[in-house]
Amino acid sequence: MPFVHAPRLSFRSGTIAGHRWALLPSAAGFVDPLLSTGFPLTLLGVSRLAQIIERDWESPGLATYARQTEDELLATSRLIGALYASMGNFPLFVSLSLLYFAAASFSETARRLGKPLASSFLLHDNPRFQMQSILERARRVRNEAESQALCDEIRRFIEPFNVAGLGDPRRRNWYPADAEDMLRAAPKLGASREEVAGVLDRCGFSAAG
Ligand SMILES: Cc1cc2nc3c(=O)[nH]c(=O)nc-3n(C[C@H](O)[C@H](O)[C@H](O)COP(=O)(O)OP(=O)(O)OC[C@H]3O[C@@H](n4cnc5c(N)ncnc54)[C@H](O)[C@@H]3O)c2cc1C
């Protein structure tokens, strides 16, 4: 194929589901590749639709699916928007990116543990992970002191969900896959150290280490 110039890739569909039909999240909208959100959003959608089909195709489930899909798309767009807006402020950009990494690693670990702690993308429906005010403040940061204060606040904000040692200044933004981070975070996931060790084992992590 010849190279093409597509000036605008993002889109949002006006209707996501109707009588006996639904768009997958990847057809419902697209924000930006920055956080690689395509696969997880699509897989969440596939698993939700599978449950709806299994239970009752006629139920109001499809309307709920459409709302969840749209809400998560918008939550993704707000985070990506704040990241683009802070590209001139590297420490703030890094801190904002931790919101994504904290939510993603917490959700994926909870899922593997079989704990129903993270049913929505970016922990969107978790009342303790409401990023809106942080994202709004990120756009209004005027000086280094305000930026630093917000970075500190983000680190405190993610802490209850931080299962990967994120924000540790000694790591200088380089995060290894360290089993000890997850084992230490077991209580945050409502799990024992043994349960987390079991997940690492099942995933082949211990064998690989
Ligand atoms: C260049 C690029 C890079 C990406 N990088 C990432 C990334 O790094 N991380 C990430 O999370 N997401 C990424 N994505 C997004 C991700 O690929 C999509 O969100 C995801 O693949 C959507 O899955 P899907 O099953 O809905 O659609 P698709 O993967 O597009 O699958 C649809 C399938 O249906 C087939 N098909 C279409 N019409 C018909 C028909 N009439 N009959 C039979 N078959 C048909 C197609 O051939 C295709 O195989 C990227 C996307 C692109 C384009």
44 in any annotated domain: yes
The pLDDT of residue 57 is 75
- What's the pTM? 0.91
Assigned domain for 50 exists? yes
24 lines ligand 1 (CB under 6 A): yes
In a domain, 135, yes or no: no
Instruction: Label residue 154 exposed, middle or buried (CB < 10 Å: 0-12, 13-18, 19+).
Output: buried
- List the residue whose alpha carbon is closest to atom 9 of ligand 1: 36
Of 72, 54, 58, nearest to 17 by C-alpha is 58
Number of structural domains the chain divides into:
1
Atom of ligand 1 at shortest distance to CA of 25?
A: 26
CB distance 18 to ligand 1 below 6 Å: no
The contacts of residue 62 (CB under 8 Å, 6+ apart) are 17, 18, 20, 22, 52
H/E stretch holding 18 reads strand 17-18
Q: Is residue 24 domain-resident?
A: yes
* 8 A C-beta contact, residue 141 and residue 92: yes
Nearest CA-CA partner of 46 in 121, 116, 99 = 121
Predicted confidence at residue 159, as pLDDT, reads 97
Q: For the chain, where are the alpha helices, taking DSSP H only? A: 25-28, 38-55, 61-85, 90-113, 132-140, 144-158, 179-184, 193-202, 205-208
Q: Which of 84, 61, 68 is nearest to 10 (CA)?
A: 84
Is 41 domain-assigned? yes
| Total length of the chain | 209
The tally of CA atoms less than 13 A away on the side-chain side of residue 11 is 12
In a domain, 104, yes or no: no
CB 121 within 8 A of CB 37: yes
One digit per residue, the tens of pLDDT, for the chain of length 209 reads 999 998 999 999 999 999 889 999 999 999 999 999 999 999 999 999 999 999 877 778 899 999 999 999 999 999 999 999 999 999 999 999 999 999 999 999 999 999 999 889 999 989 999 999 999 999 999 999 999 999 999 999 999 999 999 999 999 999 988 999 999 999 999 999 999 999 999 988 876 65
Q: Which atom of ligand 1 is nearest to the CA of 27?
A: 26
The residue whose C-alpha atom lies closest to atom 1 belonging to ligand 1 is 33
Q: What is the pLDDT of residue 119?
A: 87
Residue 140 is assigned to a structural domain of this protein: no
Q: Is position 57 within any domain?
A: yes
Q: How far is CA 122 from the centre of its chain?
A: 3
- CA of 27 from ligand 1 middle (Å) equals 10
The atom of ligand 1 lying closest to the CA of 40 is 11
Enclosing domain of residue 53: 7-85
